[in-house]
Structure 1
Amino acid sequence: MVPAPGPRTGARPRRRAGGRGRGRLADGHAAVLQERPCWGSLEDDALFALFRKTEPKVQEIAPGHDPLGDLGPRGQCRIQGLDDDRVQWQVEFAVHQLDGLRGQDDGRWPNEFLSPAMVPLGGGLNGMVSENRAWVALPPSCLGRPGEFDGPTVVDASVGNKDVELGGERGERDRTALARAVVRVANGTLRQLGCKDSLADPGKLPPVSRTTPTQMDALCGIKGLKAPDAERESLRRTRVTSGQGGPVRTCDLTHSGRPWSTSVRFMTVEDPQLAKIFSMAAMTGGPRIKGTKGYGTLTPSRAVYERTCRTGRAVFLVEQRQSDRGYTLPRELLPAYAESEAGRLGCGPVEMKMPAGS
């Protein structure tokens, strides 16, 4: 998550802790805060769904435009769940514009918020959620026409380690609560910025995807996308984004099925504004990939290709994160991957010429 900057005026974040006389209610629930957290966004039901039987403590910097910056509104809200003054649970909400001009958000943010553990929020919302990460884009109609390299302004939410998934009933409950909370904080942000727009509640969330044995002759379920013989041992398990109509489709190939052991990531960014966060990588990330209707770059560990599809720009990415035999898969697999995915999006065929190299 990209942290929001501290206020330039010297003001400190507001702190609202339990305070005198707050304790616990008779049913064991935490006492209710006198003010709604995150600039008035979270009502009691949303707060309890997140924190249940802990008492919330809030620190926040209300969203606003940085007069010395050029990246849109920023804000931050951290809520900690306390039990006997010890932190048992924490969620951080951040308001920020994703950067496409400098390439600052094409690495860590996609790794956390565009993984195959995420599912689309549904309900016409541009966003995704997992048990411990969520994000939703604010409507451009509120914030003005975005520039050529401006990614969306988002509210994102982080809870603990992104790779820890409980699953089952508890995981589903956490996922639902986080989806509702990030949308409510987004609506509170819109009000704070003076916008009349508001976002609808999330739709019914698709089931979470699970890892499955890799089809070596159809990587990520794509017929004809074959794993090289030398790399098959490191690509034994596959996990693909579930749900339809989301802003991104991500496929991770791993040795063991554990997120932190991802060997290769394939990603198709279908939302045109979200695709802008890879603009610099596609233009200046390395030796040029030439195409008749697109362009991209190639490095040993990542290949990025951008082209225009029916709904605007789309990005196709192959990233190799670990290997015992050298980093060759981006070069080998991007052409077939982009060709298939462009066909799925209705903007094929894709013709590209990879840069010279060994």
Structure 2
Amino acid sequence: MSSPEELRRQEHFLVAAAAARKGRWRRRGRRAWGLLRSRPGQLITVGVVSALIGSLLTAWQTDSLPWSDEKQAVCWGALSKKDAEALFDHDLFIRFDPDLSVRAEEIRPTHGSANVQGACRLLALDDGRPVARVDFRLHHLDGQYDAQSAGWLTDFLSPLAVPFGKGFVGMASESRTWLALPRGCGSGGGINGPAVVDASWGRPPMSSDEDPHWRNQVARATVRLANGAMRALRCDGTFPLPGDLPAVPPRKDTEPRRLCGIDGLTLTLPKKEYFLNSTLLTHSPGTARVCGVGDSSIRGRARLRLVTIESPRLAQVLSDLTDRNEAPDYEKRGRSSVGRDLALYQTMCQTGLVIFLVQDDGTGRDDLPRKLLPRYAAAEAERLGCGPVKVELPR
């Protein structure tokens, strides 16, 4: 039986889906900024992702396939039996019986008038009992009509994530992996954001710091599914399989006078705020630079995040979410938005739209994003070659 929290999450999803079908997200766009800044809004998103895949697979029941032979491929024709079973290798899931079987449940990619969608769930079965799973999704990131994209950006742009490599817009962490399809693939209906294939799963049996084999396997499976989605959507091109991914960035002591590697960016650290004394910094060129400061009770979250979104398509998603009533005037160099626990600045660089943001997720400080953003944005704009930036924050 579903818990009260799960029922509430499913209710949120149903309301959101009904609103999207009726084209009501544009009129409700002003709420998106609030959802981005609110912790409840972010927490709902994690539940919605699970509820979305679960409801899709339950509602349509397209394919539920134990393999009948070695050549049969599932997950949109992208994964062989060997590829799928590699995700549940006995060396990784050592607490399970070695005689695991794998079952696939999927919804093949479809391309509607406004978006794309698809899903595949891989279940590892021990004597018929599910003991592990990996959920893949194909969906659009849409800042105009889908406020849940805000929570996706928080969850998937993680300081624990590492890049796939040159030519990819995507990141892989020990709990989530994602890859954007090429520009124009699956786009339609005025959606500015990219179509993405992402993967999420429960806690792995061991830290990927200790065994990066796990992240490598899921990253390659995500690329295979992205190629399968592109074939299904009749898009040109394929992604090469990535090699071994870089190591997870090491956790370091926070530098109070050089926060997140930015000279002159200062964060005072009284002894009572020991929880801000560690920093994680990752950079996926062309995708995002993500710095997380401090531990949080929410796994995979930091109490303070400083993020540079370098991908213009990802930046456009966040820009659409924060766009109130009028488009930003880039002739004035850029535009800023400030809330109690989040501040951002968006500007045009040679590569396109870039967004710099500072998000407070429980430091207990007053107005910390407002204090940190001007110096952070100026330094990051200089690093990217955007030219001098002077952030003027609204009162």
Superposition TM-score tier, normalisation by shorter sequence = 0.7 to 0.9
Task: Provide the residue aligned with 1:47 in structure 2.
Answer: 84
Correspondences of 1:143-182 after superposition (within 5 Å)? 143=186, 147=190, 150-161=192-203, 166-170=207-211, 172-182=212-222
Q: Which residue, 81, 105, 109 being the options, matches 2:152?
A: 109
Task: Provide the residue aligned with 2:66 in structure 1.
Answer: 17
| SS of residue paired to 1:277 | helix
Query: Which residue identity is paired with 2:267?
Result: A
Scaled by the length of structure 2, the TM-score of the pair is 0.76
Deviation of the 1:5 alpha carbon: 9.1
Q: Which residue, 218, 221, 237 being the options, matches 1:197?
A: 237
- 1:237–1:257 CA contact under 8 A, matched in 2: no
| SS of residue paired to 1:143 | coil
Scaled by the length of structure 1, the TM-score of the pair is 0.83
Query: Which residue identity is paired with 1:101?
Result: Q
Task: Provide the residue aligned with 2:227 in structure 1.
Answer: 187
Deviation of the 1:145 alpha carbon: 7.4
Correspondences of 1:251-266 after superposition (within 5 Å)? 251-255=291-295, 259=299, 262-266=302-306
Deviation of the 1:187 alpha carbon: 0.7
Query: Which residue identity is paired with 1:296?
Result: S
Task: Provide the residue aligned with 1:320 in structure 2.
Answer: 360
- 1:214–1:235 CA contact under 8 A, matched in 2: yes
Deviation of the 1:110 alpha carbon: 1.8
Task: Provide the residue aligned with 1:343 in structure 2.
Answer: 382
Task: Provide the residue aligned with 2:108 in structure 1.
Answer: 62
Q: Please list every run of 5 or more consecutive structure 1 residues that lacks an aligned counterpart in the other structure.
A: 23-31
| SS of residue paired to 2:227 | helix
Q: Please list every run of 5 or more consecutive structure 2 residues that lacks an aligned counterpart in the other structure.
A: 1-45, 90-97
Task: Provide the residue aligned with 1:218 in structure 2.
Answer: 258
User: Structure 2: how far apart are the matches of 1:274 and 1:256?
Assistant: 25
Aligned residues: 333
Task: Provide the residue aligned with 1:280 in structure 2.
Answer: 320
- 2:177–2:199 CA contact under 8 A, matched in 1: yes
Correspondences of 1:293-332 after superposition (within 5 Å)? 293-325=333-365, 327-332=366-371
Query: Which residue identity is paired with 1:224?
Result: G
Task: Provide the residue aligned with 1:236 in structure 2.
Answer: 277
- 1:296–1:305 CA contact under 8 A, matched in 2: yes
Cα distance change on mapping 1:241 and 1:310 into 2, 3 Å: same
Where does structure 1 differ by over 3 angstroms across 4 or more consecutive aligned residues? 1-8, 141-147, 228-234, 255-261, 288-292
Q: Render the CA deviation track for 1:48-105: whole Å, top value 9, x for unaligned.
A: 22122421111101010235xx2x2100000100111121210000000101213524
Task: Provide the residue aligned with 2:290 in structure 1.
Answer: 250
Cα distance change on mapping 1:146 and 1:114 into 2, 3 Å: farther
Greater percentage in helix: 2
Task: Provide the residue aligned with 1:25 in structure 2.
Answer: none
